[in-house]
Amino acid sequence: GGAPAAAAAAAPAPPRGSGTVVSVPHPVSSPSGASEDDEDMRLALAMSMAGGDAGAGESERGGDTVGSGGSAAGGTGETREGRLAELRAALHPEAAEDAPNAHVSLHLASGARHKRRFASADSLEQLFVWADLLTTEEAGGGDSEPPPPRVGALATTFPTAVFGRDEAAAQTFSGAGLVPNATVRVRARGEA
């Protein structure tokens, strides 16, 4: 509750299906954990990502794909700067070292590699948020330019598994077999 919740509630909502990104202030969580506002925001984000627009198609740029949970950058008015703000707000803080975690090494289409810890109970949507953040940062360009398409699929090499964006919110790192360690790569468009 309090002022951050009132400010978030006062922000006008974009029309459904408009593709507009709305940045909602991220309230400071208490030392004991996430605030109610944080949890509501995560739930709303997960629901919006899982329920993608029926009219959202696939687009190509840099080998990544747009899943049904994201919208193509072209024509929506979404900017790189807006996407980065949205993704940074949606990404949970990195998991503590002493907790049961998934230690993930993510390989981007460019060949870049990044490592991060996730809580074993986090949904795989967090992995997609992180992959989207890294690919958007890597894409460069001006802040007012359209961002690259969102990552549509991620894959492990051993054991072989493919994770699509549509089912990511319903699966945890632990349930996906990514605990304690996993190497995951962004799948290129049309890859078998």
Residue 140 pLDDT: 83
| DSSP state, residue 177 | T
Model pTM score: 0.61
Which of 162, 152, 151 lies closest to 184 in space, CA to CA? 162
Residue 90 pLDDT: 98
Q: State pLDDT tens for residues 152-172.
A: 999 998 889 999 999 999 999
Q: Which of 5-9, 68-72, 154-158 has the lowest mean pLDDT?
A: 68-72
CATH code of the region 3-9+33-186? 3.10.20.90
Contact 76, 149 (CB under 8 A): no
Give the number of other CB atoms < 10 A from CB of residue 135. 25
Give the start-to-end residue ranges of the domains of the chain: 3-9+33-186
Residue 99 pLDDT: 85
Q: What order do you get walking across the sheet with 101-107 strand by strand?
A: 113-119, 101-107, 181-186, 153-157, 160-164
Record the tokens describing residue 14, joined without a space: 């974009």
Angle at 79 (CA atoms; ends 187, 77), nearest 5 degrees: 105
Q: State pLDDT tens for residues 91-143.
A: 999 999 988 899 999 999 999 999 999 999 999 999 999 999 999 999 988 88
